[in-house]
Amino acid sequence: MKSKRPFAKSNLKSSDDIARIREAGAIISEIFQLLSSADFTGMSTYELDALVDREIRARKARASFATVPGYENATCLSVNDGVVHGIPSKKLIIKSGDIVKVDVGVVKNGFFADACRTYCVGNVSDPVQRLVDTAQECMAVGCNAALAGNRIGDIGAAIQSLAESRGYSVVRDYCGHGVGFAVHEDPSIPHYGKKGTGQLITPGMVLAIEPMLNAGRYETKLLSDGWTAVTKDGSLSAQFENTIAVTDSGIEILTA
């Protein structure tokens, strides 16, 4: 989601709420498992979106992104220098060597989950693989920092420290968010920041943590379609995202 949106208080979830969000998250996890063994080469991003939409509907659920005003697709698909919110297109054909960010949201019985994976198509170079691997690690350290008693700034600090130690930049125009009762909820979660700052993390929070790492600078620009964000310098970008629940005993990943 776009950063710098004003937020109020967090919408805390009960154990029953979390169980229902987990059902939506399990659908996303199943779809990612299917995609992990698929060959995207020669497929348009429109075809990939249609495939995901069919899989969501087959599980008696809906694509939550299609509930966002003005957006009609099941997924956001961002390729190579695409950072986030890429619109599926019949003209964009996926090639060997591409990296494709598949962002999926599902609503099941009124409860929402959200996750993203970056897929390497065919053979990619070692530097590209390193970027993708680091983005996945950044998601993991960000999730692990979301412990009750910590603060939102601890999440961003953990992500930023790892990313920058490897020579990558963290996108600042878009951030993570609360999720569960709606596609986007309070609080906003920057993927950069200082430890010990920001809102207190408490049990019952359900959060979508989704760092976007660029091989070059962190600045982005919006394309003329009004949705697709790409790196301003044309460098590659990778993203991973999970929906997690904060509990008294730690975190639970609801989309893994």
pLDDT at 130 over 50: yes
- Average pLDDT estimate for 52-81: 97
Closest of 205, 175, 177 to residue 190, by C-alpha: 175
Q: What's the pTM? A: 0.94
Q: What is the pLDDT of residue 64?
A: 98
Rounded average pLDDT over 212-218: 98
| Amino acid code (one letter) for 237 | S
Average pLDDT of the chain is: 96
Query: Which tens digit of pLDDT belongs to each residue from 182-205?
Result: 999 999 999 999 999 999 999 999
Tell me the fold of 15-253.
Creatine Amidinohydrolase (3.90.230)
Question: Is 148 within 8 Å of 246 (Cβ atoms)?
Answer: yes
pLDDT tens column, 11-24: 899 999 999 999 99
**Residue 29, amino acid:** S
- In tens, the pLDDT along 137-167 reads 999 999 999 999 999 999 999 999 999 999 9
* Ranges of each domain in the chain: 15-253
Instruction: Examine the pLDDT at 48 and tell me if it is beyond 70.
Output: yes
Is residue 2 over pLDDT 70?
no
* Secondary structure class of 105 (helix, strand, coil): strand
With 60 as the cut, is the pLDDT of residue 7 above it? no
- Confidence grade of residue 8 (pLDDT, cut at 50, 70, 90): very low
The Cα 102–Cα 118 span in angstroms is 6
CA distances from 82 to 21, 60, 116, 198, 204 (A): 28, 30, 13, 29, 33
Write b or e for each residue in 157-185: b if 16 or more Cβ atoms lie within 10 A of its Cβ, otherwise e: bbbbebbeeeebbbbbbbbbbbbbebbbb
Look at residue 11 in the predicted model and tell me its pLDDT.
87
